[in-house]
């Protein structure tokens, strides 16, 4: 390889014969031909950029197609359906996918997900929304400038670190306060999960509150309403759709979040109403079990089916959140 | 106790708060919520820094785990994380920036194609990270990898968890981040600059390459940094697409598996045979990951606030 490339270099380096200037020699670089090649190049680039933009659509479609493809046997494959089908999922309330007679009752996973999400939202909604109201309505500029980076830092903490903190540190605090039997339970996971979604709720709500025109507040204050009454009866209702969107986006994240619940919830698949019991969620089941299953087995298809359920649930919530954002935009644009 | 008695007892309090004492105390409650957030961030970061700092030695950063991961360092995990995010960014940036340029410079805002793209970007950002992991396994490994192996007559080389598949899965996960930040950056370039360039006879692409992209570079960089910070911290998408529990060697080929900081934290904190011996290493690893993501996020925040200031100063 080396000698041949050397000779190429030599050929290039050799002095070129001096060309006589001929009229018309520059023709390809001027006039119609040049314009045409330029137009072609522009069109090609526009096409390439269009393809790049389409990658987002393609990505979303591929996710739907390929998660469903692996989940399909649950609905259509006779051999799989003997063990894992929609009926089997609700025929038992036991989730024991590994064993001589595997049981695929998804009820404990649904209950577990619900309990963790309820705990997380109960914590995150009041804190997130109230802090947003504080930041946009009451806080002096200097304090707001300190609050926002703190929230951004919270948002920047990876969920595995929050899971670690809940598992190693927070669980003991929570247990000593609540007196729970199991160190890892729905409350512990819910608190950590709440921490994970507070930034979402805060940021979206605060943006919405700040988008409310000043004139609304001034009118209310001029009528003699207190600052709290103005915030509660005027600003918050005006930004209501945005706050709702923030809560929905937080909800979607809470439903789908994996590492925090996987590490902090204890992962016991039990059906109970007690928030202090250990719980196993849909997302944690996928994360904990998929690495060990045989590809194509009923268990494998079932986990993909659970993934499809998670995708559908979060997708619907996100679409609704999008509608609320749209409504807020229209409302404030009309104001 | 009667209501009047309570009223009398609370008189001094209500008097200092004034007529609107309920409103005032609720106002204070919102301040308390904000304080709670700041306090929790401080407690988490402080706790990790306090227990993690003693472990952070050069040896910890530069050696491999030993004795069943109860001693030694985390170099392979740092190496794996770096390899992962580098491949991810290289795959991600052209698509993300290209998409942003298309959306901001070419697309008609009301065309159905544009609306479909925006809808996808928004909803892609909301897909749970574990579903990305399922997608990576179902598409990249079971479909793409298997078919590459079949086409090339290989045994199982591409059709298994690998660095490249994990990186590509994370790239798709971060696509919305880059598109949104890059588009925001393009928005900061004044209209007049475009018009001046086009008026001088430059084509659309020449305008983009020579005027817009240099101007939008801080924003594009912000997007890249944010995606790296997020990519380094996400564990769920790489659980089944390439992360390894322990590897005695460093990944050198795209089809190798790899160790990763976030996954290492998960493994150390849930599957350690001797949690007390592991704890210092665990705190050290958490600290390294946190420092990494915090520094990246901080850089991104600073870059973005500079960009926004420029935008605000213009109007």
- pLDDT at residue A333, as a whole number: 78
Chain centroid to CA B84 = 13
Which residue of chain A comes nearest to B95, CA vs CA? A52
Collect all residues of chain A within an 8 Å Cβ-Cβ radius of residue B228: none
User: Taking a C-beta distance cutoff of 8 angstroms, is the pair B246, B259 a contact?
Assistant: yes
H/E element, B71: strand B71-72
User: How much is the pLDDT for A98?
Assistant: 84
Q: Which residues of B touch A168 (CB under 8 A)?
A: 269, 279, 282
Kindly report the average pLDDT of chain B as a whole number.
89
Contact A259 B266 (CB under 8 A): yes
Lowest mean pLDDT among A177-181, A256-260, B179-183: A177-181
Q: How confident is the model at residue B17 (pLDDT cuts 50, 70, 90)?
A: low
Q: Model confidence over A135-145: pLDDT tens digits?
A: 999 999 899 98
Q: Which residues of A touch B31 (CB under 8 A)?
A: 134, 138-139
Grouping H, G, I as helix, E, B as strand and the rest as coil, residue A18 is coil
pLDDT higher than threshold 50 for residue A5: no
Residues 87-116 (A) with a CB less than 8 A from some CB of B? none
State the Cα–Cα distance between residues A205 and A235, nearest whole angstrom: 11
pLDDT over threshold 60, residue A12: no
pLDDT band at A81 (very low <50, low <70, confident <90, very high): confident
Q: Give yes or no for A181 touching B (CB within 8 A).
A: no
Q: Average pLDDT in the A65-78 region?
A: 91
Partner-chain contact B297 A153, CB within 8 Å? yes
Which residues from chain B sit within 8 angstroms of residue A151, using beta carbons? 37
For every residue of A87-150, DSSP letters joined together read HHHHH-S-EE-SSSS-EE--HHHHHHHHHHHHHHHHHHHHHHHHHHHIIIII--HHHHHHHHHH
Range with top average pLDDT, A49-53, A75-79, A102-106: A49-53
Instruction: Give the B window 206-235 contacts with A, CB below 8 Å.
Output: 229, 232-235
Residue A78 pLDDT: 85
| Stretch A178-183: mean pLDDT | 85
Quote the pTM value.
Answer: 0.88
State whether residue B28 sits within 8 Å of chain A by CB: no
- What average pLDDT score do residues A186-202 get? 95
- Closest-CA residue of chain B to A202: B34
Measured between beta carbons, the chain B residues lying within 8 angstroms of A45 are 205
Q: Would you say B232 and A129 are in contact if contact means Cβ atoms under 8 Å apart?
A: no
What are the tens digits of pLDDT across the range A241-299? 999 999 999 999 999 999 999 999 988 888 888 888 889 999 999 999 998 898 889 99
Residues of B in contact with A287 (CB under 8 A): 130, 133, 236, 239
Q: Over 90: is that where the pLDDT of B103 sits? A: yes
Nearest residue on chain A to B266, judged by CA atoms?
Answer: A160
Contact A227 B23 (CB under 8 A): yes
**Which residue from B minimizes the CA distance to A165?**
B44
Rounded to whole angstroms, the Cα distance separating A204 from A295 reads 40
Residue A173 in contact with partner chain B when CB distance is under 8 A: no
């Amino acid at each position: 390889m080396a000698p041949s490339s050397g000779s190429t270099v030599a050929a290039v380096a050799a002095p070129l014969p001096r060309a006589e200037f001929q009229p018309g020699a520059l023709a390809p670089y001027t006039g119609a031909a040049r314009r045409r090649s330029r137009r072609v190049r522009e069109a090609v680039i526009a096409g390439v950029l269009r393809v790049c933009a389409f990658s987002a659509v393609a990505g979303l479609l591929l996710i739907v197609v390929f998660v469903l493809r692996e989940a399909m046997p649950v609905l259509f494959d006779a051999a799989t359906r003997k063990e894992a089908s929609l009926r089997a999922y609700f025929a038992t309330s036991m989730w024991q996918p590994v064993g001589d007679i595997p049981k695929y009752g998804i009820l404990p996973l649904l209950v577990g997900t619900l309990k963790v999400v309820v705990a997380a939202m109960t914590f995150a909604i009041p804190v997130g929304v109230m802090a947003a109201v504080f930041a946009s309505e009451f806080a002096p500029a200097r304090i707001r400038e300190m609050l926002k980076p703190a929230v951004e830092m919270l948002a920047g903490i990876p969920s595995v670190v929050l899971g670690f903190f809940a598992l190693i540190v927070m669980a003991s605090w929570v247990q000593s306060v609540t007196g729970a039997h199991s160190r890892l339970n729905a409350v512990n996971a819910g608190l950590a999960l709440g921490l994970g979604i507070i930034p979402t709720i805060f940021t979206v709500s605060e943006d919405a509150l700040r988008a409310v025109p000043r004139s609304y507040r001034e009118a209310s204050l001029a009528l003699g309403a207190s600052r709290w009454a103005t915030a509660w009866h005027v600003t918050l209702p005006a930004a209501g759709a945005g706050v709702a969107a923030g809560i929905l986006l937080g909800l979607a994240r809470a439903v789908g979040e994996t590492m925090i619940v996987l590490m902090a919830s204890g992962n016991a698949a039990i059906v109970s109403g007690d928030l202090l019991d250990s719980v196993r969620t849909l997302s944690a089941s996928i994360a904990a079990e998929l690495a060990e299953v045989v590809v194509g087995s009923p268990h494998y298809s079932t986990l993909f089916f659970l993934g499809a359920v998670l995708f559908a649930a979060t997708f619907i919530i996100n679409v609704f959140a999008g509608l609320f954002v749209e409504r807020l935009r229209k409302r404030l644009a009309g104001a | 106790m009667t209501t009047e008695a309570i009223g009398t007892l609370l008189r001094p309090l209500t008097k200092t708060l004034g007529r609107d004492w309920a409103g005032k105390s609720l106002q204070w409650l919102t301040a308390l919520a904000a304080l709670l957030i700041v306090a929790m961030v401080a407690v988490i970061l402080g706790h990790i820094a306090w227990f993690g700092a003693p472990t952070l030695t050069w040896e910890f950063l530069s050696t491999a785990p030993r004795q069943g991961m109860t001693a030694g360092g985390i170099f392979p995990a740092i190496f794996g994380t770096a390899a992962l995010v580098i491949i991810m960014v290289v795959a991600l940036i052209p698509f993300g920036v290209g998409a942003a340029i298309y959306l901001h410079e070419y697309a008609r805002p009301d065309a159905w194609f544009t609306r479909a793209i925006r809808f996808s970007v928004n909803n892609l950002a909301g897909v749970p990270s574990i579903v990305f992991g399922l997608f990576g396994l179902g598409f990249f490994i079971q479909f793409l990898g298997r078919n590459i192996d079949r086409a090339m007559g290989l045994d199982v080389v591409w059709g298994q968890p690998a660095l490249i598949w994990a990186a590509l899965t994370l790239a798709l996960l971060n696509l919305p981040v880059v598109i949104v930040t890059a588009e925001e950056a393009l928005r900061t370039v004044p209209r007049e600059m475009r018009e001046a360039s086009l008026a001088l006879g430059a084509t659309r692409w020449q305008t983009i390459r020579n005027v817009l992209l240099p101007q939008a570079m801080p924003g594009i960089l912000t997007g890249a940094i944010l995606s790296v910070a997020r990519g380094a911290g996400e564990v769920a998408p790489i659980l089944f697409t390439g992360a390894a529990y322990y590897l005695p060697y460093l990944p050198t080929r795209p089809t190798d598996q790899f160790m990763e900081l976030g996954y290492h934290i998960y493994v150390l904190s849930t599957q350690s045979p001797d949690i007390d011996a592991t704890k210092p290493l665990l705190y050290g690893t958490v600290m390294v990951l946190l420092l990494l993501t915090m520094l990246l996020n901080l850089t991104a925040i600073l870059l973005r606030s500079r960009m926004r200031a420029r935008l605000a100063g213009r109007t």
